[in-house]
């Protein structure tokens, strides 16, 4: 089938088929068939592609209310990216028929990449007319803006309550700390402890898991726990710990011969030294904590620290994705009320409307991914929740980075203090749990790739 420009295109049936069938299983099998499955650059592209495909499917299913142009642009862009990915993986096997089992079925997608790119571009141009000057408003349950005095209670009212607080924190760029206790400490304690264990007030705790590298890999935990009578002692250093100022108890991942486990240490205990460090976001200070034989009590069973860390990261990244979604919404609402930079006349106006459309496109995909993650956090499907959380963190981090980079390059009058705070908070939420490189590998690991 030829498009109006002469390049090959896909029928609606073909497009929907590729959208549905290009997934982690088929794309990783494609890479294995060509011995490219351990190529780190291709693995990163695969991770991005899987996030984009999931967002496109969610938008097609109507998981959020959005313009048809957003659905079309998202679908066509990710399918074009998939076509280019397939071409790079197959390499010369694409040029002629060989024994590769994937070539014939994927060739129409590769041949349609130019047409798909043109379709996406046309949809973005149409979207630019739709969104220019529109004030971003939401009324869904997850995007209820809660007053800061409600955050402390609501953040501990299950996944939805935490999601509402996270979104509110992002939208208002509020200074009230919630993440160390509700996003990390409470999550780790609920995963590790028995249902009847009330030995820790989760509203006044935080979690010390990462060490100097910032990795959340349980295999890299070096802090040691040693038996001491009926209790334990903790020795070593933890880094990037949020919410220490409001914490009475520090939950610590430490290692014994039985593996990493979770321990509770009173912040005021002997042998605990807290150093609050200057941070990129001064409203979200991070601490370096040294433990020198600090008395501790174990929470849950020995050797469960790896499971606790992994599941806590899933819940914490879902919370951060909500905060990032709130920041994106806040920035777009702010920008929609500002005059564009139009010094170049018609070209300046086009640049402004196009930028708004691109940001709206990113916002919609990120929102769909976040909603999906919260939904799975409320389910019993832990594997699906892990994958959804990883995808939401990648997609929402990418969206908030895009907004932070463009917020004052296309628009005039953006409040300097707002922009500075947004950028600092965007960096913090993006990097706190390891950063993009680790986030992509985390997602692929959750998918078994």
Cα 335 from Cα 327, distance rounded (Å): 12
Supply the mean pLDDT for the chain: 91
Is 236 a domain residue? no
Least confidently predicted of 78-82, 278-282, 349-353: 349-353
Within 94-230, where are the H helices? 103-111, 113-131, 148-154, 158-172, 186-192
Last residue of a domain, one of 100, 131, 162: 131
Domain annotation covers residue 271: no
pLDDT at residue 32, as a whole number: 94
Q: Which domain holds residue 313?
A: 141-145+308-446
CATH code for the domain in which residue 436 is found: 1.20.140.10
* Least-confidence region, from 58-62, 336-340, 443-447: 336-340
Beta carbons within 8 Å of 322's beta carbon, 6+ residues apart: 142, 162, 163, 166, 167, 170, 370, 374, 396
Sorting pLDDT into bands at 50, 70 and 90, what band is 128?
A: confident
79 in a structural domain? yes
Q: Which of 64, 97, 131 is the last residue of a domain?
A: 131
| CA 155 from centroid of its chain's CA atoms | 19
370, part of any domain: yes
Is residue 396 in some structural domain? yes
- pLDDT tens readout for residues 94-126: 999 888 999 999 999 999 999 999 999 999 999
Q: Could you tell me if residue 107 is inside a domain?
A: yes
Tell me the pLDDT band of 4, cut-offs 50, 70 and 90. very low
Q: What is the count of structural domains for the chain?
A: 2
For residue 4, with 0-12 CB atoms within 10 Å meaning exposed, 13-18 middle and 19 or more buried, which class applies? exposed
Distance CA 111, CA 122 (A): 19
> Whole-model pTM?
0.93
CA angle 355, 41, 359 (to 5 degrees): 10
Residue 255 is encoded by which pair of tokens?
Answer: 């290692």
Quick check: is 61 in a domain? yes
More confident residue, 423 or 410: 423
Q: Which pLDDT band, with edges at 50, 70 and 90, does 5 fall under?
A: very low
Identify the CA nearest to 199 among candidates 262, 151, 260.
Answer: 262
Q: Which domain-ending residue is among 131, 162, 196? A: 131
Per-residue pLDDT band for 417 (boundaries 50, 70, 90) equals: confident
pLDDT in tens, 313-328: 999 999 999 999 999 9
pLDDT tens digits, 34-54: 998 888 999 999 999 999 999
Q: How far apart are the first and last CA of the chain?
A: 35
Domain membership flag for residue 68 = yes
* Statement: residue 6 has pLDDT above 50: no
Model pLDDT, residue 114: 95
């Amino acid at each position: 089938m030829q498009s109006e420009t002469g390049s090959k295109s896909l029928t609606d049936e073909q497009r929907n088929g590729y959208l549905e069938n290009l997934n982690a299983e088929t794309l990783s099998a494609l890479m294995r068939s060509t011995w490219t499955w351990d190529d780190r650059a291709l693995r990163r592209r695969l991770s991005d592609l899987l996030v984009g495909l999931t967002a496109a499917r969610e938008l097609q299913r109507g998981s959020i209310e959005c313009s048809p142009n957003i659905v079309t642009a998202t679908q066509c862009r990710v399918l074009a990216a998939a076509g280019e990915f397939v071409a790079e993986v197959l390499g010369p096997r694409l040029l002629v028929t060989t024994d590769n089992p994937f070539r014939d079925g994927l060739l129409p997608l590769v041949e349609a990449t130019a047409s798909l790119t043109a379709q996406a571009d046309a949809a973005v141009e149409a979207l630019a007319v739709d969104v220019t000057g529109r004030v971003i408003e939401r009324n869904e349950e997850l995007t209820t803006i809660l007053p800061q005095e409600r955050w402390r209670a609501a953040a501990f009212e299950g996944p939805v309550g935490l999601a509402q607080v996270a979104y509110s924190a992002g939208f208002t760029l509020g200074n009230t700390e919630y993440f160390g206790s509700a996003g990390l400490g409470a999550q780790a304690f609920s995963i590790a402890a028995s249902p009847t264990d009330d030995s820790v007030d989760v509203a006044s705790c935080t979690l010390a898991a990462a060490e100097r590298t910032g990795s959340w890999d349980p295999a890299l935990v070096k802090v040691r726990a040693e038996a001491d009578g009926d209790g334990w002692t903790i020795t070593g250093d933890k880094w990037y710990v949020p919410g220490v100022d409001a914490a009475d108890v520090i939950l610590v991942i430490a290692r014994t011969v039985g593996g990493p486990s979770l321990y509770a240490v009173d912040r005021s205990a002997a042998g605990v030294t807290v150093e609050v460090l200057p941070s990129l976001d001064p409203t979200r200070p991070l601490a370096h904590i040294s433990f020198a034989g600090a008395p501790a009590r174990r929470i849950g069973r020995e050797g469960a620290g790896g499971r606790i860390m992994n599941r806590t990261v899933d819940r914490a990244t879902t919370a951060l994705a909500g905060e990032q979604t709130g920041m994106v919404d806040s920035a777009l609402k702010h920008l929609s009320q500002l005059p564009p930079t139009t010094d170049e006349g018609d070209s300046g106006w086009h640049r402004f409307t196009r930028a708004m459309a691109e940001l709206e496109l990113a916002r919609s995909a990120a929102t769909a991914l976040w909603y999906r993650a919260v939904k799975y956090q409320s389910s019993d499907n832990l594997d699906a929740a892990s994958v959804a959380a990883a995808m939401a963190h990648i997609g929402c981090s990418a969206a908030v980075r895009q907004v932070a980079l463009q917020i004052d390059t296309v628009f005039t009058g953006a409040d300097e203090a707002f922009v500075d705070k947004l950028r600092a908070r965007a960096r913090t939420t993006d990097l706190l749990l390891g950063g993009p490189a680790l986030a992509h590998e985390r997602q692929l690991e959750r998918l078994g790739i």
